[in-house]
């Protein structure tokens, strides 16, 4: 069954999984860029969803939620997908500084009614890019018929001059004869959209959407903007494992801790997994060490030999004099596969994690490789974590090691081959081969 959509806000994936559940998948969207001379193409958007009692996670948004009767209030951080990056700059902005997407902090409030859910959402750039503010007033409704659900959406966004000037203005210092200085000022954008969801099986969901956006007249007067309706169409597929989650009580849900230490590697991820290349420190001597904390989400669904966990973690990058050391924050889902013929003697697991990675500085490996290819870099990238480990308790008869695992893995940051706006259209990333100890408490 579909969960209720009545608490929706401007995020089209709000409440599509039940509380305590999660989902992962992929989507492709085609969207008209507002910029004159922009490259056409498709945008790949990965889908990572987690819906907790108080915390929720989307691929581009994390937040806290508070509900009381028919009301709900959210506090959130989200990436604003406007502007352009080095690897996909429109022809009309040649010579202008990058206008990279910013990070907004915001508050949203909504109330469920019999005729739908109106909402208000206030957001402000906290990444010191635009320093702009937006107030969005919108309305959702949901129509559910068996396996199929529709979600129509209307919204008006009131944007201040800082926000519009940063993304669509032309400062005097960047003006040319063909591109005069221009300030669009504040204004109101209007948007209409329709999203659909179809339940293929108990777990697989197909979804799609179409939207149309009309920006303020001041924006369309800019020499770098085309005066046209911005349309978007998307289609995607995701796996919702919520129906199979074992409902542990909060105090009994297994807690997992991981400690790791690793070395930089210039081998490709596929080469490392196949053991075709496992060299480290070939071009630089940077290292990482870190800690992950997670919860087991479910074990042995359908009695299959696999488990699924969710993790958040922090990694310290040791740059060895190339630049100051810095932190990486990541969150990911991880599946463990076991059941090999020797499982009774020594449990051995293959793990694969997928999620998001954010760094406070770009790693030296990424700076070097991207500069060599004349490509841009990005702080937020996709995160993959393939591992193999064995249970120490099967070799050392100590009660404290009963659920402890020792293994090797790869910490991999990837831009998804330059096909995702969320990751700055970056084609590139970095790899670190690491050893780790994991235990369940």
Give tens-digit pLDDT for 373-425.
888 888 999 999 999 999 999 999 888 888 999 999 999 999 888 888 888 88
Q: Please tell me the distance from the alpha carbon of residue 138 to that of residue 9, in angstroms, as a whole number.
A: 8
Tokens of residue 189, six digits: 């954008």
pLDDT band, residue 243 (cuts 50/70/90): low
Distance of CA 334 to the CA centre of its chain: 15
pLDDT the model gives residue 12: 79
pLDDT at 130 over 80: yes
* DSSP-derived secondary structure letter, 3: P
Number of H helices, E strands in the chain: 4, 21
Q: Residue 219's pLDDT is what?
A: 96
175-183 long-range contacts (CB < 8 A, ≥24 apart) are 176/95, 178/223, 179/92, 179/223, 179/224, 180/223, 182/221, 182/222, 182/223
Extended beta strands in 200-305, E state: 204-214, 230-240, 255-265, 287-299
Asked if residues 385 and 410 have their Cβ atoms less than 8 Å apart, the reply is yes
Q: How many residues does the chain have?
A: 441
Task: Answer whether residue 312 shows pLDDT above 90.
Answer: yes
CB 170 within 8 A of CB 182: yes
Do the strands 117-125 and 133-140 form a parallel or antiparallel pair, or are they unpaired? antiparallel
Condensed to tens digits (0 to 9), the pLDDT of residues 161-188 reads 999 999 999 999 999 999 999 999 999 9
Rounded to a whole number of angstroms, the distance between the first and last alpha carbons of the chain is 34
Decide: 18 and 30 in contact? Cβ < 8 Å.
no
How far, in Å, are 256, 305, 344, 372 from residue 301 at the CA level?
19, 8, 20, 46
pLDDT of 97 > 90? The answer is: yes
* Phi, psi angle pair for 273, to nearest 5°: -60, -35
CB 168 within 8 A of CB 203: no
CB atoms within 10 A of CB 196: 15
Neighbours of 348 (CB within 10 A): 18
Q: What domains are defined for the chain?
A: 21-242 (2.40.160.40), 255-440 (2.40.160.20)
Q: Do 391 and 346 meet the contact criterion of CB atoms below 8 Å apart?
A: yes
Residue that is written with structure tokens 């974590």 in the block? 385
The pLDDT value recorded for residue 246 is 58
Residue written as tokens 């780790």? 436
Percent of the chain residues topping a pLDDT of 90: 63
Confidence of residue 5 (pLDDT cuts 50, 70, 90): very low
CA atoms of 317 and 410, how far apart (whole Å)? 14
236 has pLDDT over 50: yes
pLDDT for the residue numbered 60 = 85
Confidence of residue 7 (pLDDT cuts 50, 70, 90): very low
What mean pLDDT value characterizes the chain? Answer: 90
Q: What is the pLDDT of residue 31?
A: 86
Q: 418 φ, ψ to 5°?
A: 75, 20
Say whether pLDDT at 84 is over 90. no
Give the global pTM.
0.86
């Amino acid at each position: 069954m579909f969960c209720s959509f009545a608490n929706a806000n401007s995020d089209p994936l709000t409440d599509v999984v039940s509380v305590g559940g999660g989902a992962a998948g992929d989507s492709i969207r085609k969207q008209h860029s507002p910029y004159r001379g922009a490259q056409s193409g498709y945008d790949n958007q990965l889908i990572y969803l987690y819906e907790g009692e108080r915390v929720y996670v989307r691929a581009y948004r994390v937040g806290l939620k508070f509900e009381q009767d028919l009301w709900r209030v959210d506090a959130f951080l989200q990436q604003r997908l406007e502007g352009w990056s080095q690897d996909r700059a429109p022809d009309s902005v040649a010579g202008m500084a990058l206008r990279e997407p910013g990070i907004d902090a915001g508050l949203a409030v909504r109330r469920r009614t019999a005729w739908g859910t109106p909402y208000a959402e206030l957001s402000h750039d906290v990444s010191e890019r635009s320093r702009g503010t937006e107030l969005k007033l919108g309305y959702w409704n949901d129509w559910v018929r068996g396996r199929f659900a529709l979600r129509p959406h209307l919204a008006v966004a009131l944007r201040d001059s800082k926000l519009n000037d940063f993304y669509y203005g032309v400062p005097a210092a960047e003006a040319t004869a063909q591109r005069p200085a221009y300030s669009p000022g504040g204004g109101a954008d209007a948007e209409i959209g329709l999203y659909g969801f179809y339940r293929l099986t108990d777990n697989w969901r197909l979804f799609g959407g179409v939207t149309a956006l009309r920006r303020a007249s001041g924006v369309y007067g800019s020499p770098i903007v085309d005066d046209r309706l911005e349309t978007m169409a998307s289609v995607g597929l995701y796996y919702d494992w919520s129906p199979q989650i074992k409902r542990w009580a909060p105090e009994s849900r297994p807690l997992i801790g991981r400690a790791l230490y690793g070395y930089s590697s210039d081998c490709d991820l596929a080469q490392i997994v196949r053991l075709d290349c496992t060299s480290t420190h070939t071009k630089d001597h940077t290292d990482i060490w870190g800690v992950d904390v997670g919860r087991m989400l479910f074990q042995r669904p359908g009695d299959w030999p696999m488990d699924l966990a969710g993790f958040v973690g922090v990694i310290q990058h040791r740059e060895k004099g190339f630049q100051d050391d810095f932190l990486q924050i990541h969150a990911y889902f991880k599946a463990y596969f076991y059941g090999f013929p020797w499982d009774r003697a020594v449990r051995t697991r293959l793990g694969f994690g997928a999620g998001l990675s954010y760094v406070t500085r770009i790693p030296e490996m990424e700076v070097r490789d991207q500069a060599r290819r004349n490509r841009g870099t990005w702080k937020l990238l996709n995160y993959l974590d393939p591992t193999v480990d064995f249970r120490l308790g099967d070799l050392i008869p100590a009660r404290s090691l009963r659920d402890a695992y020792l293994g090797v893995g790869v910490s991999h940051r990837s831009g998804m081959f330059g096909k995702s706006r969320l990751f700055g259209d970056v084609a590139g990333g970095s790899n670190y081969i690491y050893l780790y100890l994991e235990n369940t408490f």
